[in-house]
Amino acid sequence: MGNHLSTKGGSSIKRTYENKKNTLIYSEKRIVQNFTLIWLDETIDESKKDCRYTISQLRQIVNSITICTDPTFCQKFIEKIRDEKIFLIVSGKLAQKIIEHIHHYVGLNSIYIFCGYPPAHEQLKTQWPKIRIVSSQIESICKSLVNDAAQCEQDLTPISILSLTDCSNQNLNQIDQSFMYSLLMKDILLETDYDEQAIVVLVDFCRKIFQGNEYELKIIDEFGRDYHKHTPIWWYTRECFTYKMLNRSLRMLEIDVIAAMGFFMKDIHQQLEKEHRTRSTGRAPFIVYRGQAMSNDEFEKIHKNINGLLTFNNLLSTSVDFKVAMGFAQNRKGQPDKVPILFEMQIDPILTTIPFASLKGLGYFHAEEEILFSMHTIFRITQVKENQDHIWQIKLDLVSDKDLQIGELIKRMRSEIGDGSATDRLARLMVTFGEFGKAETVYNLVLGSIPNDDEKALACIYNQLGYTQYKQGNHSQALTSYEDALKIQEKLRPSTDLDLANTYNNIGLLYANPNDSCKAVEYHQKALNIQQEHLDHNHPDLANTYNNLGLAQISMGDHKHGLDNLSAALRIRQISLPANHPLIASVYSTIGGVYQKLEDYSNALIFYKNALDIEEQASHSNHQTLAMAYYNMSTILNDLKQNDKAIQYAESAVQLASKFLEPNHPNTILFNEYFKELKTKQS
């Protein structure tokens, strides 16, 4: 596991060169660990025996290796890496040229200087704290690399932090997305039934990823052949592809990897449950520890949320030995951009059914004095203090099964996400948070598992798949998916009438631009005709269709009918939704925009003001819609020649954008330019 990285591992090799066009050339290999390694040396020659030996040693530790000969292109390559921590091995000569330009980069975890005469470069260690070792021996570098890889794995365990406000918040958009993803992922694993074919699927999946890596391929074949000869925990704690892929897939939410490894994750959970039942009965409360580092931002969030909740969204490895955990924390001291942490976790087996077990006698390393917890283990933060060694000690209590606050939160989350399979709920959650690419991956996986004769289910997934493609701007793919749904639904009428209306609406949205407004109106009208026949006249779905139809009519210049349909949407939403619901604000804002375009400024002001009143009362995760409401108010007041008030609202929009949006966000630019224009006009 994390504390026992040996010098055995998989690999993928990338090579970067400077060609005649000054571009980077490298072979793309999928990364299956939380880190990657770059070896920079302008004298690298793979035809030489010592170079091949060095590569063979590094390949035993890190799956992804990039060989680079030019420091400028190496720097560009490093700057593009977003999802992995980087280990850099660099020659003494090039170290002098590159380190000062890249040392500040947060993704760069550690540097190893590999040179012929170490004393000439030792002084660099005092200047640049990310330098771990200066050596002429690759074996010494590999030893240091093994330790750093273990620490890196430990530090990158994903966590979610929920404040007391989050726990009572009725708006799911306000709650840490990773908390809900982790919860639903666990639901999926426990709800899904797997057979022996799942092992074959994973083995085939891994063989493709590790193609050319003979060491890992042997273990993968052994896994496929002998999986049931050992326990799931034995396989997880072995130094091989299993825990590396599992840990990264949960951290990055790599849906295809999680799907392939689903049976393995479930088997681990069930073994932990079994061990917990047999070993924890009557056991007294005890304490476990975990030493690691975390970013300043992550630490500050914990520090500010005493009595809040903290969940580890991965399998959680802890130690019963205080000194071992403190050693891990001590090793993080002095690292830039990191805070050394020692977690002290109070565990009362009587109060919880959350599965955990000692690895002693269970893991690949039989003497391992560790306690392994299942995914999504939730703790309450009780204390944060700095000790005399400048290590921050964070005390956590394992949450009881009877904790009403967390119980109500999880119940509310599951209720709001809705019914259906756990996979369906996960995809809907991703759509809610705008993770349309990941939602598309989920729907494609679901599509492959539905029998061909279950046509109604197929049509539903085609429709949802089309929506995720539409939201990513892939309109031609979306139209194909919608048409696949349409063919099935038209064949199955009348039982699929409302589903058909949904598909018509979705196709109408694809044509929501001035050049295709007539088609948009045609499809939205088809949807409306069906819904009016089957739904109550105040049904929320009718409001959505009235809204879509109204927007399409306005786009083609039919303002009268467009306003009529937008007003119908507003009337239904006022009846069926809470008074300060954002969808009511949205239609107020839209109608205000129509009146403004028609130069009916007094009516525009009324509707914009109604929208702003709702936005100011509601809670927002990023305040984008509130900032836009301020901007709209400013524009209409400017049209009404109320310049002082217009400037005040424009300034409010700018202030919100500067706080919650990136400087290059289109709205940030729009608000700033408009505000400057008003100020210039005033002067």
| pTM assigned to the model | 0.72
What digits encode the pLDDT tens for the residues 450-481?
888 899 999 999 999 999 999 999 999 999 99
Asked if residue 87 has pLDDT above 90, the reply is yes
Dist CA 662 CA 668 (whole Å): 7
Before 494, cis peptide (omega within 30)? yes
- Same fold flag, 422-489 and 490-682: yes
> What is the second-level CATH architecture of the domain 490-682?
Alpha Horseshoe (1.25)
On average, the pLDDT of the chain sits at 87
Asked if residue 523 has pLDDT above 90, the reply is yes
In CATH, which superfamily holds the domain spanning 160-410? Answer: Toxin ADP-ribosyltransferase; Chain A, domain 1 (3.90.176.10)
Dist CA 444 CA 438 (whole Å): 10
Asked if residue 601 has pLDDT above 90, the reply is yes
What is the pLDDT confidence band of residue 367, given thresholds at 50, 70 and 90? low
Amino acid residing at 333: K
Averaged over 102-121, what is the pLDDT? 94
286-295 vs 338-347, strand pairing mode: antiparallel
Strand extents, DSSP E, 231-387: 286-295, 309-312, 316-319, 338-347, 356-358, 370-373, 377-386
Length of the chain: 683
64-68 vs 85-91, strand pairing mode: unpaired
Of 409 and 391, which is predicted with more confidence?
391
- pLDDT at 28 (0 to 100): 43
Joined tokens for residue 329: 């924390």
What digits encode the pLDDT tens for the residues 528-556?
999 999 999 999 999 999 999 999 999 99
Joined tokens for residue 582: 């954002």
What is the pLDDT confidence band of residue 612, given thresholds at 50, 70 and 90? very high
- pLDDT at 599 (0 to 100): 96
With contact defined as beta carbons under 8 Å apart, do 193 and 267 qualify?
A: no
Among residues 124, 142, 144, which one has the least CA distance to residue 132? 144
What is the pLDDT confidence band of residue 14, given thresholds at 50, 70 and 90? low
Among residues 423, 381, 371, 420, which one has the least CA distance to residue 233? 371
What is the pLDDT confidence band of residue 282, given thresholds at 50, 70 and 90? low
Asked if residue 68 has pLDDT above 60, the reply is yes
What is the pLDDT confidence band of residue 288, given thresholds at 50, 70 and 90? very high
Asked if residue 19 has pLDDT above 80, the reply is no
At residue 366's C-alpha, the angle toward residues 362 and 367, to 5°, is: 120
What is the pLDDT confidence band of residue 591, given thresholds at 50, 70 and 90? very high
Alpha helices in 156-240 (DSSP H): 164-168, 177-191, 197-209, 214-226, 232-237
What is the pLDDT confidence band of residue 494, given thresholds at 50, 70 and 90? confident
> b/e string for 303-318 if b means 16 or more Cβ within 10 A?
eebeebbbbbbbbbbb
Of 56 and 391, which is predicted with more confidence?
391
Mapped onto helix, strand or coil, the DSSP state of residue 36 is strand
Main-chain phi, psi angles of 159, to 5 degrees: -130, 155
- pLDDT at 121 (0 to 100): 95
- pLDDT at 168 (0 to 100): 62
- pLDDT at 172 (0 to 100): 58
Amino acid residing at 32: V
For residue 515, with 0-12 CB atoms within 10 Å meaning exposed, 13-18 middle and 19 or more buried, which class applies? exposed
Dist CA 11 CA 30 (whole Å): 10
- pLDDT at 171 (0 to 100): 56
- pLDDT at 621 (0 to 100): 46
Asked if residue 141 has pLDDT above 60, the reply is yes
- pLDDT at 239 (0 to 100): 87
Asked if residue 438 has pLDDT above 50, the reply is yes
- Cα distances from 366 to residues 231, 275, 331, 370, in angstroms, run 13, 15, 25, 10
- pLDDT at 30 (0 to 100): 77
- In percent, the amount of the chain with pLDDT more than 90 equals 57
**According to CATH, what is the number of the domain 35-154?**
3.40.50.2300
DSSP 46-97: TTSHHHHHHHHHHHTT-SEEEEE--HHHHHHHHHH--SSEEEEEEEHHHHHH
Of 252 and 411, which is predicted with more confidence?
252
108-114 vs 131-135, strand pairing mode: parallel
Q: Cα 176 to chain center, whole Å?
A: 10
Q: What is the 3-state secondary structure (H, E, C) of 392-406?
A: EEEEEEECCCCCHHH
Averaged over 180-195, what is the pLDDT? 81
Averaged over 194-214, what is the pLDDT? 89
Dist CA 434 CA 442 (whole Å): 14
Q: 5-14, 312-321, 393-402: which has the highest mean pLDDT? A: 312-321
Four-point Cα dihedral 165, 168, 174, 178, nearest 10: 100
- pLDDT at 440 (0 to 100): 93
- pLDDT at 2 (0 to 100): 37
Averaged over 392-402, what is the pLDDT? 89
Of 330 and 189, which is predicted with more confidence?
330
CA terminus-to-terminus distance, the chain: 67
DSSP 523-554: HHHHHHHHHHHHS-TT-HHHHHHHHHHHHHHH
> Among the CATH numbers 1.20.120.1200, 1.25.40.10, 3.90.1720.10, 3.30.420.10, which is that of 422-489?
1.25.40.10
Joined tokens for residue 354: 């959350």
CB atoms within 10 A of CB 76: 13
- pLDDT at 20 (0 to 100): 33
Q: Which of these ranges, 252-256, 419-423, 656-660, has the smallest mean pLDDT?
A: 419-423
Q: Which of these ranges, 365-369, 457-461, 609-613, has the smallest mean pLDDT?
A: 365-369
Of 586 and 579, which is predicted with more confidence?
586
Among residues 13, 30, 27, 14, which one has the least CA distance to residue 244? 30
Dist CA 443 CA 457 (whole Å): 11
Of 630 and 352, which is predicted with more confidence?
630
What is the pLDDT confidence band of residue 174, given thresholds at 50, 70 and 90? low
Joined tokens for residue 550: 């109204």
Amino acid residing at 621: S
DSSP 360-427: TTTSSSTT--EEEE-SSEEEEEEEEEE-TTSPEEEEEEEPPTT-HHHHHHHHHHHHHH-SS-HHHHHH
Dist CA 524 CA 546 (whole Å): 8
What is the pLDDT confidence band of residue 425, given thresholds at 50, 70 and 90? confident
Among residues 49, 52, 46, which one has the least CA distance to residue 17? 46
Asked if residue 502 has pLDDT above 60, the reply is yes
- pLDDT at 585 (0 to 100): 94
**Domain residue spans in the chain?**
35-154, 160-410, 422-489, 490-682
Asked if residue 17 has pLDDT above 50, the reply is no
Q: Which of these ranges, 155-159, 266-270, 636-640, has the smallest mean pLDDT?
A: 155-159
